[in-house]
A and B are shown apart, each in its own frame.
Chain A
Amino acid sequence: QQQVKQSPQSLIVQKGGISIINCAYENTAFDYFPWYQQFPGKGPALLIAIRPDVSEKKEGRFTISFNKSAKQFSLHIMDSQPGDSATYFCAASTRGYSTLTFGKGTMLLVSP
């Protein structure tokens, strides 16, 4: 049973465009929603995260939008750059627990 559903599986965006990756969850006990970025040959690294008490969090060109009623959250990459080409994972965790439930990942390619 997949608890965090991520889409699309892959995405090609032109340089300067907006990249959007979506995730949906069922478990209402989730209360922390991070996004991890993984470059080829590297382990994933935390990119940005949000808690459900806010609807949006922005860090530079990266924004998380959160819709608690729809149980959905998304990552927006503004002015996408070739250096953003990576695999992105959404995840979720429950308060008091250390484990993360990951989505299946989105491979983003930003064309020059």
Chain B
Amino acid sequence: DVKVTQSSRYLVKRTGEKVFLECVQDMDHENMFWYRQDPGLGLRLIYFSYDVKMKEKGDIPEGYSVSREKKERFSLILESASTNQTSMYLCASSSTSFRETQYFGPGTRLLVL
């Protein structure tokens, strides 16, 4: 089974802190994604990556950056956390062969105070 793990289930940070959210997948998938999920807004794509060291902006990249140094790991970085970044963050991965099927991690619920 594909497994996507996220480093934390719950995280509490202060405004202005630099926040790292880590995601690891164990199926050698080429594609990885970061979403945020908010009530009534669904899943919104922040960034995605097709390959190591490659990144593409999604629909809402402002205030975020990403890093993909290894194929299995995709990090989301909040350079200076703000209260409006309080949300559920979901990581997903997919293979190039079956690119349309994404496998999601359990999510990280981030609270920025």
Q: Indicate whether A and B interact.
A: yes
> Are the CB atoms of B106 and A44 closer together than 8 Å?
no
A93 to B94 alpha-carbon distance, docked (Å):
13
**Which residue of B4, B31, B90 is within 8 Å of A98 (Cβ)?**
B31
> Are the CB atoms of B42 and A43 closer together than 8 Å?
no
Binary A-proximity of B79-113 (CB < 8 A = 1, otherwise 0): 00000000000101010100111111111000000
**Count of interface residues, chain B, beta-carbon cutoff 8 Å:** 25
> Are the CB atoms of B48 and A43 closer together than 8 Å?
no
A-B contact count (CB 8 A): 53
> Are the CB atoms of B104 and A98 closer together than 8 Å?
no
Interface of A is mostly: loop
**Count of interface residues, chain A, beta-carbon cutoff 8 Å:** 22
Chain A residues with Cβ under 8 A from B90's Cβ? 43-44
**Which residue of A41, A97, A100, A103 is within 8 Å of B102 (Cβ)?**
A100
| In the complex, B45 has a CB within 8 A of chain A | yes
Q: Which residues of A (24-68) have their CB < 8 Å from a CB of B?
A: 32, 34, 36, 41-46, 49
Q: How far is the CB of B87 from chain A (nearest CB, A)?
A: 14
| In the complex, A104 has a CB within 8 A of chain B | yes
A93 to B102 alpha-carbon distance, docked (Å):
11
B residues sitting closer than 8 Å to A (CB atoms) are 4, 31, 33, 40-45, 48, 50, 58, 90, 92, 94, 96, 99-107
